[in-house]
Amino acid sequence: MRIEQNFMGASEPDVEVAVEMTEWQLELLACPFEQAPLHLEGKQLRCSACGRQFPVVDGIPSFVVPDLANLHEAHEWQQKQVEMQTRNEQAVFYDRLLGLLLLTPFEVAMTVKALLGEHQRFGTLAEIGCGTGRMLRHFAQYADIVVGADLSLESLRRCRQRFERLGLWGKALLVHADASFLPFRTNSFDAVASCQMIEHVPSERMRERVIAEIARILKPNGRFAISGYHYSLLTRWFGKEGFHKGGIYFFRFTRDEFLRLVGTHLSVQNLRTVFGYAWLASGVKGA
Ligand SMILES: C[S@@+](CC[C@H](N)C(=O)[O-])C[C@H]1O[C@@H](n2cnc3c(N)ncnc32)[C@H](O)[C@@H]1O
Ligand SMILES: [Zn+2]
């Protein structure tokens, strides 16, 4: 069997096996370029409007295609590629990072509460920038259908393994996608979360696009919870903007900056800090 390196370094076995997708999965998905419906053709999804093809790798549709570069400034796209590569390399130990192990139980409780609002559970729930599923596995308890999107295919592969182990894979869909150009139909989700992702999007205009995309895919009155680095007394020593190990870009938000960003397309009802480490904004999409 020949192993091919496809775009973004995902290794894919070169065997002709047809891919299966359920009706509900196809009904949620759309072309990230103009949101037209997609059809399954062998191992690919094909857009009914532009004809672009998107591979399905290990059951994960991949929308991170070279054409996306044309929608970015050169520095934005280059930074996103660094993010992809470093997250792929770090996926294997991400869940064992001590800081996250300590934070996770509190962060899960706060985010679930913020996301639920007055609701008990949701029909469709998505996390944008779900990584290895550290948070998404907990959100999955509150939804009939659970969807995760991330730029790192290796993280998504680990997320899939985790969901299979937990018996959650049957109600899940994971997609390899850029949060600024989401491959989902408009007005599709009852709830959308995004945890510690937006601070890694490398320009203000691309961060605004992420919020616009979250607003677009939410149903009217759908709920959101979005967290991002807090520029606080605790964290200011680590810089306002810069690069983590491996070249991952970050931006820390003041209260006003975070409120302004999320408020561009969504109604923020609640804004709180997670121990001075991250902001957590929640609320609804106006009808
Ligand atoms: C700090 S991790 C958080 C992962 C997960 N939300 C959690 O809380 O454990 C940030 C994640 O955002 C993803 N990410 C960064 N930029 C992205 C983008 N433009 N589109 C989609 N995902 C992105 C990274 O690949 C990484 O998995
Ligand atoms: Zn298309």
For residue 185 and ligand 1, the question of a CB distance below 6 A is answered with no
Nearest atom within ligand 1 for CA of residue 155: 27
Give the CA distances from residue 15 to residues 1, 53, 176, 177, 200, in Å, rounded to whole numbers and listed in that order.
7, 17, 20, 23, 35
Whether ligand 1 lies within 6 angstroms of the CB of 111 is answered as no
Are 211 and 265 in contact by the 8 Å Cβ rule? The answer is yes
Mean pLDDT, all residues of the chain = 93
Can you tell me which residue has the tokens 């259908």? 145
Output the CA 179–ligand 1 centroid distance in Å. 9
pLDDT at 287: 60
- What digits encode the pLDDT tens for the residues 32-61? 999 999 999 988 999 999 999 999 999 999
**What SS3 state is found at 216?**
helix
Query: Cα separation of 90 and 86, whole Å?
Result: 6
Question: What is the predicted pLDDT for the residue at 97?
Answer: 82
Which ligand is in closest contact with the Cα of 30? 2
Note the pLDDT tens digit of each residue in 60-70.
999 999 999 99
pLDDT tens-digit map of 219-246: 999 999 999 999 999 999 999 999 999 9
- Using the predicted structure, report yes or no on whether residue 189 has a pLDDT greater than 90: yes
pLDDT more than 70, % of the chain: 93
Question: Does residue 194's CB lie within 6 angstroms of at least one atom of ligand 1?
Answer: no
Is residue 226 in contact with ligand 1, taking CB distance under 6 Å?
Answer: no
Structural domains of the chain ordered from first start: 94-284 (3.40.50.150)
| Number of alpha carbons in the 13 Å side-chain half-sphere of residue 130 | 33
Distance 100 CA to ligand 1 centre (A): 14
CA 125, CA 137: separation in Å to the nearest integer? 12
Mutating to test ligand 1, I would choose from 71, 127, 138, 151 the residue with most ligand atoms within 8 A of its C-beta, which is: 151
Ligand 1 atom at shortest distance from the alpha carbon of 206:
19
Q: Would the pLDDT of 6 be above 70?
A: no
The Å distance, Cα 66 to ligand 2 centre, comes to 14
